[in-house]
Chain A
Amino acid sequence: MRTAILLFPGINRERDMAIAVRQSFGAEPKMVWHKETDLSGIDLVIIPGGFSFGDYLRCGAMAAQSPIMRAVKDHAARGGYVLGVCNGFQILTEAGLLPGALLRNAGLRFLSMDTMLRVERADTVFTSKWETGAIFRAPMAHGDGNYAADTATLDRLEGENLVAFRYADGNRNGAARDIAGIYSPNLRILGLMPHPEDLVDPLLGGTDGKPLFDSLAAA
């Protein structure tokens, strides 16, 4: 899996992501600056977490207009894999590659703690190393993780089985229908708020997040 990790100004979890990728893929990811325009030869595009452009306009809104996003859309149109975590998820919704939006957390405070996630389906390239219904732990760290979409969209996501993960131990940020992550209709784009990449090492508290990367490595 030839992997690119996109770097927007203000992104800050690119190193965490690179560590997880390196560990499961056995290969070095390519770090790609947002002003570049070429993603040829790349199988998986990862947009990591952080505060792209400071989140000063609306989380992900500025990054969605960066030059590299044209290439990401082309990559997605070709059926390429895309993973967006936290700010990466927000960027994917702002870019129109995933539906809905991530609003300010219901309690209006930044939330940084471990959360439990339920794997809604284990038949995707992102989740094949889990069982459907498996519960795993992942750190979350966001101020805007309150997933929102209109009822028709939420019904469609559920009807087409496109919900990837749900919060399984309480819904802290107010996300509609406990949604923590969603897929594109072709199941090749995944966006989620919590950070599996920060739990891939027993020394750091566990390897609960590793199956995501092992699944991709096996795809």
Chain B
Amino acid sequence: MKTVDATLAKSFGLNAEEYAKVLEIMGRTPSFTELGIFSVMWSEHCSYKSSRVWLKELPTKAPWVIHGPGENAGVIDIGEGMAAIFKMESHNHPSFIEPYQGAATGVGGILRDVFTMGARPIANLNALRFGDPALPVTKRVVDGVVRGIGGYGNCVGVPTVGGEVNFHPAYNGNPLVNAMTVGIAAQDKIFLSAAAGIGNPVVYVGSKTGRDGIHGATMASTEFDASSEEKRPTVQVGDPFTEKLLIEACLELMQTDAIVAIQDMGAAGLTSSSVEMAGKGGVGIELILDDVPQRETGMTAYEMMLSESQERMLLVLKPERAEMARAIIAKWDLDYAIIGHITDTGRIIVKHKGVVEADIPLDPLAEAAPLYRRPIAETPKPAPLGPVNSDMRLDEALLKLIASPDLCSRRWIFDQYDSTVGGQTVKRPAQADAAIVRLEGTNRALALTTDCTPRYCVADPEAGGAQAVVEAWRNITATGATPLAVTDNMNFGNPEKPEIMGQFAAAIKGMAAACTALDFPVVSGNVSLYNETEGKGILPTPAIGAVGVIEDASKAVGLALKPGHDLIVIGASKGELGRSLWLREILGQETGAPPAIDLAAERRNGDFVRAQILAGNVAACHDVSDGGLLVAVAEMALAGDTGAALTAPETSHAFWFGEEQARYVLAVQDGAKLLAAAKEAGIPAVQIGHADGAKSLTHSDTIAISLSQLREAHERFFPAWFAL
């Protein structure tokens, strides 16, 4: 065994100062296993040491928040005694090294965070960012990630109902895979992780422990370089069948009163679950590793404590219920083992083969965890975009935009995901701005979306952070649902670089302002830093996953335009083209400032739109975002297979492709009535066209395009890419 010293600590990811702190806490040289425990608990991934000081700036409270950040997932009141439990988490680093397993285990991990709290998972979403589609590696990563998400999600029987995909060369060496799970539970049946009851058995349930994923949390806390391929053994392998058994076994056990505390073994496996459970409960824990179910022979204490083998849970049970619990777990053919007990020592003591391999006081392990207020350098505010124009016809520009990788149909992807299992999916992918999933046995439904526009964030992280929140809020609003809360997945580069930390701090500031203004608290989240390869960082990507509720799911509206409807734009159109997709795809520029955020206008316009939808005055609704107004109208036309005659007097590219915020396109039976209601409410609204029954989009002499042309362009990219 290697000598434990500062050099070894460094190779475990602990710097000199951190190792000195370990020595101080221990009062002696730590054992190899103890060093391993410190290094994973104090890794960026587990300790949030660079981000904690900023995360606390986010609003986390509202009357409907039951549990905010700090638990395995956020919990909100969704009415009728029910709670929605949800979180989004990244699996970026593993997904680059091994796309299929990286993405699959990302889905598995986030599912466990949710059902460990007592929720049946009812929906998965995923926010994906990939590199330049022209590179062969991008195709390989997209293929593996999509198969991995499908392979895991389809097998466990949780519908994958939504998400988003972007492409940008900044993700060439560092794709982002952010997976979100939403579950539901009875509010009086929510399970937490704080251990209690001196002498209570600590029980291991699930798959056996192997040598996979050792030090995965540390890997996720460093940059990539050419040697990253060597890190493949730190990627875990998923077993969705066992996960499905684990879900059913845990939910069955949760119907009894056997469980005192429960936590999944995620990043840093047995170490983080045991340390966190005992720490939160203010107790101690003793583990006897000889009793851990093992897949391989000869495993050491170090390996068992740091393994990230998947599909495992740690439970504290009432001793008198342990036998009943064992029988339920055995019914599902899963391993069950008592591997220790709760103590009053305030220490974690790990024994293996009669030897004490680790003996660490829990409070200092948690409280002395490093906390850095790293230097920040503010991103200079971008200069506004000067006058730009194009001679291209509007319809030609539309065709080009709607065929581009960032705007084309995602059908090829979501056709590989089971979106209907569970029998509650009211609006499937691409049918509405947010997926709608009903709560079984009720009329109530959740509206779910993920959003972020990284090209805005890189130009102005504060505006970009706010924009991610307002777009998520709009997407839920556009279905008629009331937005309730968000989970955030902060994907950034190396926090030791001041400009990256500056992006992070600014994004948080923008998010906090938007969440506050919209009563849209952050209840859970995840931070992924060091998203850099060969020193090149990704676009700052604060992905937002959001949940809303609609009391009567039959009132939810989708995108589909139908003949006879009038098209009304809510919100002021100003023609802001800075950082727009039009600018990038038509003029080849990524310049200017992103569209301004007006939080009061967002709130006002959104509340008006939602009230109109719930009053039954709106047949279809789509928020205006990537690609602007004309793209929004085209997407509605394609969804409903219904064309429109556009009548707005403007013919400028800025009007039709500007991406200013706080806007919606509504399809309504009675345009005059809606305009009158908007006028009375002081909401900007104009009619821009009418669905005349023709299968085309037309406008003066600038737009004449058939739906079949539009559809061909929109559907072309992915099938063509993968047909080769």
Q: Does A19 contact B (CB under 8 A)?
A: yes
Scan residues 69-89 of chain A and give those whose CB is less than 8 A from a CB of chain B: none
Q: Decide if B245 touches A51 in the complex (CB within 8 Å).
A: no
A13 with B416: CB separation less than 8 A: no
* Cross-chain contact B333 with A15 (CB below 8 angstroms): no
Cβ-based interface call for A53 (8 A): yes
Interface size on B, residues (CB 8 A): 34
Q: Which of A106-114, A126-134, A150-158, A173-181 contacts B (4 or more CB under 8 A)?
A: A106-114
**Among residues 54 to 105 in chain A, which have CB atoms less than 8 Å away from a CB atom of chain B?**
54-56
Q: A141-B154, A204-B426 are in contact. Are A13 and B421 (CB under 8 A)?
A: yes
Q: Is the CB of B422 within 8 A of A15?
A: yes
Q: Does A208 contact B (CB under 8 A)?
A: no
* A112 contacts B420, C-beta separation under 8 Å: yes
Q: Is A197 an interface residue (CB 8 A)?
A: yes
User: Which one, B241, B438, B440, contacts A56 given CB within 8 A?
Assistant: B241
CB pair B423–A15 under 8 Å, yes or no, is yes
Asked if B554 is at the interface (CB within 8 A of a chain A CB), the reply is: yes
Q: Is A12 an interface residue (CB 8 A)?
A: yes
Kindly identify, within residues 146 to 186 of chain B, every residue whose CB is under 8 Å from any CB belonging to chain A.
147, 150-151, 154-157
Q: Known: A51-B244, A112-B417, A203-B438. Is A12-B156 also a contact (CB below 8 A)?
A: yes
Chain B contacts for A195, CB-based, 8 A: 420
Contact B240 A54 (CB under 8 A): yes
Q: Please measure, in the bound complex, the distance between the C-alpha atom of A9 and the C-alpha atom of B248, giving whole angstroms.
A: 9
Encoded as 1 (CB less than 8 Å from any B CB) or 0, chain A from 36 to 58 comes to 00000000000001110111100
Contact B422 A54 (CB under 8 A): no
Q: A198, B423: Cβ atoms under 8 Å?
A: yes
Among candidates B155, B428, B553, residue contacting A10 with C-beta atoms closer than 8 Å: B155
**A15 touches which of B147, B239, B417, B440 (Cβ 8 Å):** B440
Q: Which residues on B sit within 8 Å (CB–CB) of A16?
A: 420-423
Contacts of B426 in A (CB 8 A): 203-204
Residues of the A chain whose Cβ atoms lie less than 8 Å from the Cβ of B245: 9-10
A141 engages B421 (CB within 8 Å)? yes
Q: Is the beta-carbon distance between A50 and B157 smaller than 8 angstroms? A: yes
Q: Is B425 an interface residue (CB 8 A)?
A: yes
Q: Does A29 contact B (CB under 8 A)?
A: no
Which A residues touch B156, using CB under 8 A?
A: 12
Q: Mark A1-35, 1 if CB is under 8 A from B, else 0.
A: 00000000110110110011000000000000100
Whether A109 contacts B416 by the Cβ 8 Å rule is yes
- Determine how close the nearest CB of chain A comes to the CB of B124; give it in whole angstroms: 13
The answer to whether A111 and B415 touch across the interface, beta carbons within 8 angstroms, is: yes
Contact A9 B154 (CB under 8 A): no
The CA of A197 and the CA of B331, in the complex, are separated in Å by 28
* Nearest CB of A to B331, in Å: 8
A139 within 8 A of B: yes
In the complex, chain B residues 333-388 whose Cβ is within 8 Å of any chain A Cβ: 333
Q: How far is the CA of A143 from the CA of B333 in the complex (A)?
A: 25
Q: B147: which A residues are within 8 A, CB to CB?
A: 109-110
Given contacts A9-B244, A113-B415, contact A19 B438 (CB under 8 A): no
B440 contact set on A, CB distance < 8 A: 15, 19
Judge whether A12 and B244 touch: CB under 8 Å.
yes
| A19 CA / B421 CA spacing, docked (Å) | 12
Closest to B239 in A: A54
B416 to chain A: which residues have CB within 8 Å? 109-112
Interface residue total, chain A, C-beta cutoff 8 A: 31
- In this assembly, does B499 line the interface, its C-beta being within 8 Å of a C-beta of chain A? no
- Say whether B239 contacts A12, CB under 8 Å: no
> Which residues of A from 129 to 184 have beta carbons under 8 Å from B?
139, 141, 143
Which residue of A9, A12, A198, A203 is within 8 Å of B333 (Cβ)? Answer: A9
Q: When chains A and B are docked, how far (Å) is the Cα of A15 from the Cα of B420?
A: 12
Q: Which residues of A contact B422 (CB under 8 A)?
A: 15-16
A51/B423 in contact, CB under 8 A: no
Q: Once bound together, how far apart are the Cα atoms of A18 and B686, in whole Å?
A: 48
A34–B274 Cα gap in the complex (Å)? Answer: 35
Cα–Cα distance between A9 and B334 once the two chains are bound (Å):
11
Partner of B241, one of A9, A49, A203: A9
- Residues of A near B240 (CB, < 8 A) are 51, 54
Please report the C-alpha to C-alpha distance between residue A12 and residue B120 in the assembled complex, in whole angstroms: 12
Q: Contact check, B150 vs A110: say whether CB atoms are below 8 A apart.
A: yes
A-facing mask of B384-419, CB < 8 A → 1, else 0? 000000000000000000000000000000111111
On whether the beta carbons of A203 and B554 are closer than 8 Å, the reply is: yes
Q: CA A139 – CA B431 in complex, angstroms?
A: 15
Closest-CB distance, B444 to chain A (whole angstroms) = 12
Alpha-carbon separation in the docked complex, A113 to B415 (Å):
6
- The A interface is mostly helix, strand or loop, or mixed, namely mixed
> A5 vs B530: C-alpha distance in the bound complex, in angstroms?
49
The complex places the Cα of A194 from the Cα of B85 at a distance, in Å, of 31
Find out whether the CB atom of A139 lies under 8 angstroms from the CB atom of B420. yes
Distance A216 CA – B155 CA, assembled complex (angstroms)? 29
Is residue B617 contacting chain A, with contact meaning CB distance below 8 A? no
Q: Which residue of chain A has its CB nearest to the CB of B244?
A: A10
Bound together, the chains give a CA A132 to CA B714 distance in angstroms of: 37
User: Is A12 within 8 A of B438, CB to CB?
Assistant: no
Tell me, yes or no, whether B12 is within 8 Å of chain A by CB. Answer: no
Instruction: Contact check, A12 vs B421: say whether CB atoms are below 8 A apart.
Output: yes
Proximity bits, B503-521, A CB within 8 Å = 1, else 0? 0000000000000000000
Asked if B698 lies at the interface with its beta carbon under 8 angstroms from chain A, I say no
Interchain CB contact under 8 A, B420 and A10: no
Contact check: which of A19, A50, A56 meets B423 at CB < 8 Å? A19
Shortest beta-carbon distance from A207 to chain B in Å:
13
| A-side contacts of B32, CB under 8 Å | none
B155 touches A55 (CB 8 A): yes
* Smallest CB gap from A199: residue in B: B420
Q: Does B47 contact A (CB under 8 A)?
A: no
Which of A53, A112, A143, A201 has most B Cβ within 10 Å?
A112
Question: 8 Å CB contacts to A: which residues of B238-291?
Answer: 239-242, 244-245
B54 interfacial by beta-carbon distance below 8 Å: no
Q: CB-CB < 8 A to B244: which residues of A? A: 9-10, 12, 51, 54
- Distance of A10 Cα from B154 Cα, bound (Å): 11
A109–B422 CA distance with the chains assembled, in angstroms? 21
**Within 8 Å CB of B242, what residues of A?**
54
- In the bound assembly, the distance between CA atoms of A56 and B440 in angstroms comes to 30
Contact A13:B157 (CB < 8 A) given known A51-B241, A54-B240, A109-B416: yes
Question: Does chain A have a CB within 8 A of B424?
Answer: yes
Choose from B333, B415, B424 the contact partner of A112 (Cβ within 8 Å): B415
Q: How far is the CA of A205 from the CA of B416 in the complex (A)?
A: 19
- Given contacts A10-B155, A198-B423, are A141 and B418 in contact (CB under 8 A)? yes
Residues of A within 8 A of B554 (CB): 203
* Residues of chain B contacted by A33 (CB below 8 angstroms): 331
A141 to chain B, nearest CB (A): 4
A56 to B416, CA, bound (A): 19
A183–chain B nearest beta-carbon distance, Å:
25
| CB <8 Å contact, A141 and B333 | no
Q: Give the nearest-CB partner of B415 in chain A.
A: A113
Task: Report the separation of the CA atoms of residues A93 and B440 in the bound assembly, to the nearest whole angstrom.
Answer: 32
Bound CA span A20–B553, Å? 19
CB-defined contacts of A15 to chain B, threshold 8 Å:
422-423, 440
Q: 8 Å CB contacts to A: which residues of B602-616?
A: none
Q: Say whether A110 contacts B154, CB under 8 Å.
A: yes
**Known interface pairs A55-B155, A113-B415; A9-B420 also in contact (CB < 8 Å):** no
Interface residues of B (CB under 8 A from A): 147, 150-151, 154-157, 239-242, 244-245, 331-333, 414-426, 428, 438, 440, 553-554
New A-B pairs, 5, CB < 8 Å, besides A15-B423, A112-B414: A9-B244, A112-B416, A112-B419, A113-B415, A203-B553
A-B contacts, 11 listed (Cβ < 8 Å)? A12-B421, A13-B423, A19-B440, A50-B157, A53-B241, A54-B155, A111-B416, A112-B420, A141-B419, A203-B553, A204-B426
A→B interface (CB under 8 Å): 9-10, 12-13, 15-16, 19-20, 33, 49-51, 53-56, 109-113, 139, 141, 143, 195, 197-198, 201, 203-205
CB-CB nearest 9 A-B residue pairs: A12-B157, A54-B241, A16-B423, A141-B418, A51-B155, A139-B420, A198-B420, A110-B416, A112-B418
